[in-house]
Amino acid sequence: MIMNEEEKKKWGLGSRAFYPRLSIVDPSIQSTLPRNQTVNGACDTLAHVFEAYFGGTPSTRMQDELSEGIMRTTMDSVRILLDDPSDYDARAELAWAATLALNGLNGLGRAGDWASHGIEHSLSAFTDIAHGEGLAIVFPAWMKYVYREDPEKFARFGEKVFGIEKSSAEDMALNAIEALKEFLRSIGAPVTLRERGYPGDTEDCILETLTILKYIHANNDKSSIWPFCIHAEWLIFVKKRDGTFLLPAKHAEKAYFF
């Protein structure tokens, strides 16, 4: 990441040149991490998996199984670590899950989405919200907006990761999103800006969020739909090609993977 704190700008930077020839991950060093950073790391790991898993690429059964295994392992490991931060095996499992989530293997054959990361990067550029907790706020809102595009995938997510009983795809999808929110709350992660202590004036939040989105899309010539979670509600901001925004699209009937 590259960030200009004075101008409130934050961008991702990636290249094959940044990949190490050898990486040594020692779980014992991580045992002294503060509780909130362990939680943030788990949230970021899940988010990395979600970006590929819900990216809209069809017929990726093997990759889906891998993703679901990473999700379950991440969730199980962070629960253990919150009770016993020194548990070496749980640290090792979480470290390996985090590695698999973003070392390229999980995303093979899938386009990926990455809208939620883009939203969160600008959110943490404007606030003191950490990346992991920002993703915990953004992702459930994003899911609630896009699930209608592929309810079967979200239903599978609910069944494979949370053990949700079979019913209609839409009911399973919505139950899966709620189950994710419950899990995040259970480990101490916020799922709304209000829970994170964000200013309570909705109008000010909306105006600031619009400013954030303009930064994100400064060089983007595509129409984009961005969900954002404010208070206990979720809102959608639609940015058109001419740079203007349409407000709001709450409970929109059409959703998009992008």
pLDDT band at 257 (very low <50, low <70, confident <90, very high): very low
State which amino acid sits at residue 161.
V
Average confidence (pLDDT) over 84-111: 94
Nearest Cα neighbor of 135 from 205, 39, 257, 54 is 39
Percent of all residues in the chain with a pLDDT value above 70, rounded to a whole number? 76
Residue with the larger pLDDT of the pair 254 and 84: 84
Q: Say what the pLDDT of residue 198 is.
A: 75
Q: Mean pLDDT for the chain?
A: 80
Q: What is the DSSP string of 15-35?
A: -GGGS-S-----GGGGGGS-H
Q: Say what the pLDDT of residue 199 is.
A: 59
Please state the φ and ψ torsions of residue 75, each to the nearest 5 degrees. Answer: -65, -45
Neighbour-count burial of 231, counting CB atoms closer than 10 A to its CB (0-12 exposed, 13-18 middle, 19+ buried): middle
- pLDDT tens across 24-47, in order? 999 999 999 999 999 999 999 999
- Considering the entire predicted model, what is its pTM? 0.79
- pLDDT tens across 117-171, in order? 877 877 787 778 899 999 999 999 999 989 999 999 999 999 999 999 999 999 9
| 8-state DSSP, 166 | P
